[in-house]
Chain A
Amino acid sequence: MHANSAVSVRPVAAIAALAMLLAAAPIAPNPRDAAAEAAAMKTNVKISMFAFSPGVTTVPAGSSVTWTNNDDDAHSVVADNKAFRSAPLDTGDSYSFTFTTPGVYPYHCGLHPQMVGKIVVTR
């Protein structure tokens, strides 16, 4: 019974895996990219008391990061290498950016450059 049920699952899993590969294929022909795509996530960085929290965020390529300003003062999010730049964020405002290329992205607040953070994008 146990063996049977285990066996019966396998074709389903195989089909699901194949379907995922096929679905990912047109965008990312490289299987490694497909794996990264599958691991991609949405993550949040909080802006509070003139600091980014967490200060360092590590995400797989393809992930989207959302910053939300919880301070009463305005802030912004600007990549040191200019890869991304938010509009000024008023209290409660958010900004999202999707990281497709692995690497390290240091960033700062455009109004208060002493506020710094880092996004580490892995494969």
Chain B
Amino acid sequence: MPADLASVVGLFGRELHRAGIPVSPSESAQLARVVQVCDPLTVDQLYWCARVSLLRSPDQVPEFNAVFALVFRGLADVAEHRGQEPTALRSESRPPRQAAGEQGSERQPAGPADTRAGPVGEEGAEVEQHALRALASSEERLRHADLGALSDAELAEVAPLLHQLLTTLPTRRTRRRHRHPRGDRLDVRATIRRSIRSGGDPVLAVRRSRRRRPRRLVALLDISGSMEPYARAWLHLLWGAATVARAEVFVFGTRLTRLTPVLRTRSPQQALARAGRAMPDWSGGTRIGHNLKAFMHRYGRSGMAHGAVVLVVSDGWERDDPAVLGAQMEAIARRAHRVVWVNPRVAAPGFSPDTAGMQAVLPFCDDLLSGHSVEALAEVVAALGGDRQVSSRHTGR
């Protein structure tokens, strides 16, 4: 590979990395191979060569275009830095966007919510029992205290218990089959292999049945001003959900942000610190319907909400037209397995869901819970784990 090409490719890769698009050395090598075989003569051709080999998601296109313009379209002369560190380019010093940058290097702790039908039921239930017992033995004050009133230290105490609660989610049958003594189908390969012991006569029939897998959990958390004291606590719980139960976590205030990749780390402090950086509008206003529409448009439409358990944590104080909110909840309810709405105001004495927002969403929710204290959380967990009941939602299902 000519030395010029190598340095240019390396430089470009570094700049992309700085802009938050993770580029590994193997991808830079891929770019070099692509450039060699395509032999681009114009900048546009080079653009497509680079995009095809380095980009992995259409969400990264604006950043990619910006870096490409910086490096190749004359804003910076690469020839100036041949053979040295490009200190001039670094003068922009954008802090690396960790939200995107560390996506590739995360591991998920293999929690009890792994997918084996028999064991997960028992293991999950055991862990849950343990967690509930631990909760029961922690201070009375903490147990009944309003989550919004807990200090950071108290929250940190409660957090590890919270995250163990989400181990049982409703399951669904998958198409993948595994060995099971009373399965409905014959496993021909295994039966024949077993028959070797009996001289070629298939004496023992090995059966297979469908595996059960937990349903996906999609959590949408309102982080506007009115929800502020509770949102912190709920973020802890959802951190647990994102790691243990592999949930998808979104937050919204003025706009919707997908927090799942940011939350998937081992340490809750780290996850929340990153979440704080990734959420630009902590404590802004609320446009619930608008944000739910954004969710459906970008993620729900391509099937994320399909058959999932959807959890919305919000007080339902809608700034915009509640009809939009109702329409979006209907669309979600039509696709989801269960819809659980958590509103901390429910716990207040004399509460009745008569704001326009709550009225609009109530027909489409399977449960309306308060989720305002540690004890109430156990209720929420039970609601999330419930299997399909006869739904009285107004969607005709």
Do A and B actually bind?
A: no
A interface residues with partner B (beta carbon < 8 Å): none
